């Protein structure tokens, strides 16, 4: 069997950098029509902004905030295009002269499930999916009672991120299959630094399957009559990885040449890390903001702060088959610390035809 079925990861995920103009700006070069776009102004403290094709253009969610969905017809993402997207004049997505990063995922196949007709799940769901890439954007109307929701991927989910779109004050709730020994009982919040929490009301203490994921009674994951959205991921060899590792230490703010190495099976294009056993930030690095090792420019998913600059610490090496931590900082590699991560490929370690990738 081939090592991977995805030889060109940029067919499904790509980071696109651009400079803001302050007026309507068509961003091209993504390589596909994206279905989920996550944007951050790297130079300012403007909030993160996230858009998807299921909810529709102009409908903004803020990954670093617990705000409800906000409709901005002129200042945010105004259209999804065949090779990218168009943004209006808002400072978060397009401030004049600012360096902006966008992270783009493709789903692309329409999905609907009538639960009563199919017998799959207990709540109707709809969205956009890619079984090849293991990515689905799923929407539903919350019931307020424990329920199961079809995701359409045909593989057990490794991670999903759920947001109540209707209510202010509801956190982004994350299921991660490597979070603890019993991840179905636990959750972690994308817009907070908190450690892992435990609540049966979140996932109904039920693990996902190849056809459904479960939600409980919590307003954040299944509020009665609330509009809900989930970003769902099933791991694909050579393209995506959702795992955990234990830090091996060193002093905070000090370079560590022998930091923990994490095998992903590909050269990472994008990595997000969260320490799960204590309060720490969600750090994000990518191969476009740092084209050579070490990868030093980081953003935090739960914070609106501007991009952290190059330094002698907070360093990553993005390698041909994984990533290596180069410091002992608390958010990356504290001694004995437990970390979860999600990563997407720039190139597989070995292609479907047996060609190995090279280091950066």
Q: Under a CB-based contact definition with an 8 Å cutoff, are residues 80 and 33 in contact?
A: yes
What value, to the nearest 5°, has the Cα angle with vertex 292 and ends 4 and 26? 80
How confident is the model at residue 314, as a pLDDT? 67
Q: Under a CB-based contact definition with an 8 Å cutoff, are residues 340 and 249 in contact?
A: no
What's the rounded Cα separation, in Å, for the pair 66 and 79? 24
How confident is the model at residue 349, as a pLDDT? 64
DSSP 313: S
Q: Quick one: CA dihedral 96, 103, 189, 216, positive or negative?
A: positive
The string of DSSP codes covering 116-145 is HHH-S-SB-EEEEEETTTTEEEEEEE--SS
| Tokens 């084209």 sit on residue | 291
Mean predicted confidence (pLDDT) in 150-174: 98
Q: Under a CB-based contact definition with an 8 Å cutoff, are residues 286 and 346 in contact?
A: no
**What is the CB-side half-sphere exposure of residue 96 using CA atoms within 13 A?**
4
What's the rounded Cα separation, in Å, for the pair 79 and 242? 30
pLDDT at 350 over 80: no
26-52 per-position pLDDT tens digit: 999 999 999 999 999 999 999 999 999
Mean predicted confidence (pLDDT) in 281-299: 94
pLDDT at 293 over 60: yes
Q: Which of 94, 112, 122 is nearest to 16 (CA)?
A: 94
Mean predicted confidence (pLDDT) in 281-307: 95
pLDDT at 254 over 90: no
What's the rounded Cα separation, in Å, for the pair 259 and 262? 10
How confident is the model at residue 232, as a pLDDT? 98
Mean predicted confidence (pLDDT) in 143-164: 98
How confident is the model at residue 360, as a pLDDT? 58
Confidence of residue 329 (pLDDT cuts 50, 70, 90): confident
The string of DSSP codes covering 233-292 is E---TTTEEEEEEE-----TTSB-TTPPEEE-SEEEEEEEEEESSS---EEEEETTT-SS
**315 compared with 31, residue with greater pLDDT:** 31
How confident is the model at residue 1, as a pLDDT? 44
Where in the chain are the domains? 9-105, 109-233, 240-348
Q: Between the CA of residue 349 and those of 85, 135, 263, 320, what are the distances in Å?
A: 30, 21, 10, 6
DSSP 341: E
| Tokens 């309507």 sit on residue | 24
pLDDT at 261 over 50: yes
Confidence of residue 228 (pLDDT cuts 50, 70, 90): very high
Q: Under a CB-based contact definition with an 8 Å cutoff, are residues 247 and 181 in contact?
A: no
pLDDT at 252 over 80: no
**210 compared with 255, residue with greater pLDDT:** 210
pLDDT at 312 over 60: no
How confident is the model at residue 313, as a pLDDT? 59
Mean predicted confidence (pLDDT) in 131-151: 98
How confident is the model at residue 191, as a pLDDT? 98
């Amino acid at each position: 069997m081939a090592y991977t079925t995805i030889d060109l990861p940029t067919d499904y995920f790509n980071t696109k950098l651009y400079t803001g103009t302050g007026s309507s700006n068509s961003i091209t070069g993504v390589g596909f029509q994206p279905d989920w776009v996550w944007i951050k102004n790297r130079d300012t403290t403007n909030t993160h902004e996230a858009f998807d094709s299921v909810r529709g253009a102009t409908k903004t969610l803020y990954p670093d905030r617990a705000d409800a969905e906000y409709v901005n017809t002129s200042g945010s993402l105004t259209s999804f295009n065949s090779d990218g997207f168009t943004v209006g004049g808002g400072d978060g997505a397009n401030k004049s002269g600012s360096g902006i990063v966008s992270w783009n995922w493709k789903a692309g196949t329409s999905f609907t499930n009538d639960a009563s007709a199919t017998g799959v799940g207990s709540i109707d769901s709809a969205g956009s999916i890619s079984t090849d890439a293991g990515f689905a954007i799923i929407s539903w109307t919350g019931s307020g009672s424990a329920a199961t929701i079809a995701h359409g991927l045909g593989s057990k989910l490794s991670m999903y991120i759920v947001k109540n779109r209707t209510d202010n004050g509801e956190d982004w709730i994350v299921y991660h299959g490597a979070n603890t020994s019993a991840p179905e009982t636990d959750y972690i919040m994308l817009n907070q630094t908190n450690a892992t929490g435990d609540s049966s009301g979140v996932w109904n203490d039920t693990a996902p399957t190849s056809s459904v994921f479960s939600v409980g009674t919590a307003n954040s994951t299944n509020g009665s009559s609330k509009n809900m959205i989930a970003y769902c991921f099933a791991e694909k060899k050579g393209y995506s990885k959702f795992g955990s590792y234990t830090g091996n230490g060193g002093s905070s703010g000090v370079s560590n040449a022998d930091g923990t190495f994490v095998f992903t099976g590909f050269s990472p294009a994008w990595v997000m890390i969260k320490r799960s056993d204590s309060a720490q930030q969600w750090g994000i690095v990518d191969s476009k903001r740092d084209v050579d090792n070490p990868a030093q420019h980081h953003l935090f998913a739960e914070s609106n702060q501007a991009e952290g600059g190059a330094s002698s610490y907070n360093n990553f090496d993005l390698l041909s088959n994984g990533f290596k931590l180069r410091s002992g900082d608390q958010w990356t590699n504290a001694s004995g610390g437990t970390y979860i991560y999600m990563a997407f490929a720039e190139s597989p370690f070995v292609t479907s035809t047996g060609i190995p990738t090279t280091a950066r």
